[in-house]
Amino acid sequence: MTDWRTVCSIKSLKQDGYAVLELATTAVAVFDIEGELYAVEDICTHDGGELAGGPIEGCTITCPRHGARFDLRTGAVVAPPAYLPIQTFPVRIRDGQVEIGID
């Protein structure tokens, strides 16, 4: 069963472009890309740096530290130095709040 956690209001996400929710074991970043919402683990699999705040081009985010690139839709690596994908999470809007699903 999925446990849904509130990240932020949809209004603040649309204004800022992304939001990060700190969980006990990891951080999850939610992005608004042209009205579509994507939630991913906010840790680069290359060296553990944060991804949120890195440049976004289309649905691809670039790690600001060493340039690894990931697809926000699937978590797949698009360019090294990372070789392992990042985890993705289901995301929804409920009562004006952005929520992510945690298993």
CATH number at residue 98: 2.102.10.10
- Cβ–Cβ < 8 Å for 5, 102: yes
In the numeric block, which tokens belong to residue 10?
Answer: 């949809």
Instruction: Please count the structural domains in the chain.
Output: 1
pTM: predicted TM-score of the whole model, two decimal places: 0.93
The residue segments making up the domain with residue 27 are 3-102
Hey, which residues does 33 pair with through a beta bridge? 36
Asked if 63 and 49 touch (Cβ cutoff 8 Å), the reply is yes
Q: Rounded to whole angstroms, how far apart are CA atoms 56 and 77?
A: 14
CA atoms of 43 and 96, how far apart (whole Å): 27
Whole-number pLDDT of residue 1: 76
One digit per residue, pLDDT tens: the chain, 103 residues? 789 999 999 999 988 789 999 988 889 999 999 999 999 999 999 999 999 999 999 999 999 999 999 999 999 999 999 999 999 999 999 999 999 999 8
Which residue has tokens 């553990």?
A: 48
Q: What is the CA angle 14-18-23, rounded to 5?
A: 130
Return the amino acid letter for 71: D
